[in-house]
Structure 1
């Protein structure tokens, strides 16, 4: 069991997501940075879909009541076990009574904590991903207890750490393909969309990232149509909205671009004021 001493700013349990229910209006959800989730689980030998703790902007403080193994990936939130610094992307041994703490990230925006065997929390529609109105809680709170499996008698010195290139936290190019309504834009609008550098507004969360700079827009709304995580919508005011993991399943704004999976991970590690631009996939 893990006791939540401090929940951080916005911490949730996530796996790869909830698939097969979009026709009923259920979002995909899942980890914002899928690659970080997979790396954390791989270090532990977990199934890649094992549930992890996703922490945003400010990390949590956790007390373990049993022995286990953990790994940390994503943004550098300076993890500590019993106030002693430990490394990310490395197998770490936890003893009963140990306290794991995090702070604000030095780079990136979201950090992932994986435990051996995955978090054994509520399973809804084949996923443990928290989502408001669907799971019994949508964020962890102080005093919560999260169920995990106990593991002991494993020598972590026999396991290697991973070296990860953290330059992707600073990467600004988002790779995209044309959205269904891209060709409805004028040539000038298309050129501006693909040449401007946009900054992330304060309106960013697990549902969507709104970009600050407007793009001249003369397009009319479309009939409600399917959207996906990574869909870039153009609003009547000219604002661009990039849909993220908890996005709705349909929308009525023109879909001008579609991010690939890697760029969606990259964007999830950016926060207000960071910049980005779009580039077509080769």
Structure 2
């Protein structure tokens, strides 16, 4: 069971939820930039929600199925065709041996996921299949996929209730100029009040240097520090917002390092990380401060939405007998 890369996407890698609980050893987490989309595809396929998928960027690429397989696309809306027939995102399809999947430019969003029923057959490292080029771990020692690479699949299975296995793509609800909600801290006392006001009232753009490691925010105004921008390195999480001496925010993303030595003005709430993952270079956005209580409520509601989707798609199995 396998898929051959005919034309690779930009910096495409295999990603799951990453290497959790190893940051204390200096090991980067890696993982999907948009867990919302990865989880959605895996629920549709009947996989575990943290099963690894192929993360694609901007232009999806071309893939040949070397065996019969069931697959789903999620995240970015590519111009997608299976054997020259248009297909949609967030819906299961059956590919036969020799079928060609072609994914053009992303019309909506920036990162997409190609997931297969049963998942990719890849050896885990520290409980994760995620690729990390800096550590040299994951399939092909963590490097981005290339033309003629072959991805092995686990034993395929046929998901039941195929006609029900589709849903609305969550990114359709994303704003073109998103508001990114944050919780202020942990070093917000390192900034002047004017600096904090600048942070929350400036319209930023996603800079050209942005990648899986970090989103570089660009603007004409800078955030004022009280003293230095440097601190003793401390833990960095997915969504930590550092402000170096340039006065422009750097949002740490899935491929970040485990620690950072710049002042952290805030952290992006987990619900809004997919907004950044799906925003194209040059996208305008603003920050909004909310409380921990509000962020927790939003997180709980998101998890309830996943439970509802999983129940709708997968738990109807009981009704088949």
| TM-score of the aligned structures, taking structure 1 as reference length | 0.95
| Count of residue pairs brought into register by the alignment | 282
Q: Which residue of structure 1 lines up, in the alignment, with residue 231 of structure 2?
A: 222
- Answer yes or no: is 1:265 the counterpart of 2:271: no
Q: Which residue of structure 1 lines up, in the alignment, with residue 180 of structure 2?
A: 174
- Answer yes or no: is 1:193 the counterpart of 2:194: no
Q: State the SS of the aligned residue for 1:238.
A: coil
Q: State the SS of the aligned residue for 1:202.
A: coil
Once residues 91 and 267 of structure 1 are traced to their aligned partners in structure 2, the CA distance between those partners, rounded to angstroms, is 26
Could you give the per-residue CA deviations for residues 204-258 of structure 1, whole angstroms, max 9, x where no partner exists? Answer: 0000011111413333111111111100000111121000001011111000010
Once residues 237 and 207 of structure 2 are traced to their aligned partners in structure 1, the CA distance between those partners, rounded to angstroms, is 21
Q: Summarize the Cα distance change of 1:101–1:156 in structure 2 as closer, same or farther, 3 Å threshold.
A: farther
Once residues 111 and 77 of structure 1 are traced to their aligned partners in structure 2, the CA distance between those partners, rounded to angstroms, is 8
Q: Summarize the Cα distance change of 1:197–1:119 in structure 2 as closer, same or farther, 3 Å threshold.
A: same
Q: How does 1:11-26 map to 2 (within 5 A)?
A: 11-26=12-27
Once residues 233 and 157 of structure 2 are traced to their aligned partners in structure 1, the CA distance between those partners, rounded to angstroms, is 53
Q: How does 1:86-97 map to 2 (within 5 A)?
A: 86-97=87-98
Could you give the per-residue CA deviations for residues 90-126 of structure 1, whole angstroms, max 9, x where no partner exists? Answer: 1111111111110110011001111001111231111
Q: State the SS of the aligned residue for 1:70.
A: strand
Q: Which shifted more, 142-151 or 10-19?
A: 142-151
Q: Which residue of structure 2 lines up, in the alignment, with residue 116 of structure 1?
A: 117
| TM-score of the aligned structures, taking structure 2 as reference length | 0.84
Once residues 279 and 124 of structure 2 are traced to their aligned partners in structure 1, the CA distance between those partners, rounded to angstroms, is 29
Q: How does 1:1-282 map to 2 (within 5 A)?
A: 1-132=2-133, 133-135=135-137, 136-151=141-156, 157-165=162-170, 166-168=172-174, 170-213=176-219, 214-218=221-225, 219-220=227-228, 221-281=230-290, 282=294
Is contact 2:217–2:250 with CA below 8 Å preserved after alignment?
Answer: yes
Q: CA deviation at 1:49?
A: 1.1
Q: CA deviation at 1:160?
A: 3.5
Once residues 115 and 105 of structure 2 are traced to their aligned partners in structure 1, the CA distance between those partners, rounded to angstroms, is 18
Structure 1 segments, 4+ long, off by >4 Å, are 152-157
Q: State the SS of the aligned residue for 1:134.
A: coil
Could you give the per-residue CA deviations for residues 154-176 of structure 1, whole angstroms, max 9, x where no partner exists? Answer: 67643341023503152510010
Q: CA deviation at 1:153?
A: 6.0
Structure 1 residue ranges without an equivalent (≥5): none
Q: State the SS of the aligned residue for 1:192.
A: helix
Q: Which shifted more, 182-191 or 138-147?
A: 182-191
Q: Summarize the Cα distance change of 1:169–1:154 in structure 2 as closer, same or farther, 3 Å threshold.
A: same
Q: CA deviation at 1:150?
A: 4.6
**RMSD of aligned residue pairs (Cα, Å):** 1.6
Q: Which shifted more, 61-70 or 166-175?
A: 166-175
Q: Summarize the Cα distance change of 1:176–1:154 in structure 2 as closer, same or farther, 3 Å threshold.
A: closer
Q: Which shifted more, 101-110 or 212-221?
A: 212-221
Once residues 235 and 12 of structure 1 are traced to their aligned partners in structure 2, the CA distance between those partners, rounded to angstroms, is 29
Once residues 137 and 79 of structure 1 are traced to their aligned partners in structure 2, the CA distance between those partners, rounded to angstroms, is 26
Q: State the SS of the aligned residue for 2:42.
A: helix
Once residues 200 and 4 of structure 1 are traced to their aligned partners in structure 2, the CA distance between those partners, rounded to angstroms, is 30
Could you give the per-residue CA deviations for residues 246-273 of structure 1, whole angstroms, max 9, x where no partner exists? Answer: 1011111000010011211110111221
Could you give the per-residue CA deviations for residues 39-75 of structure 1, whole angstroms, max 9, x where no partner exists? Answer: 0000001001111000011112111111111111101
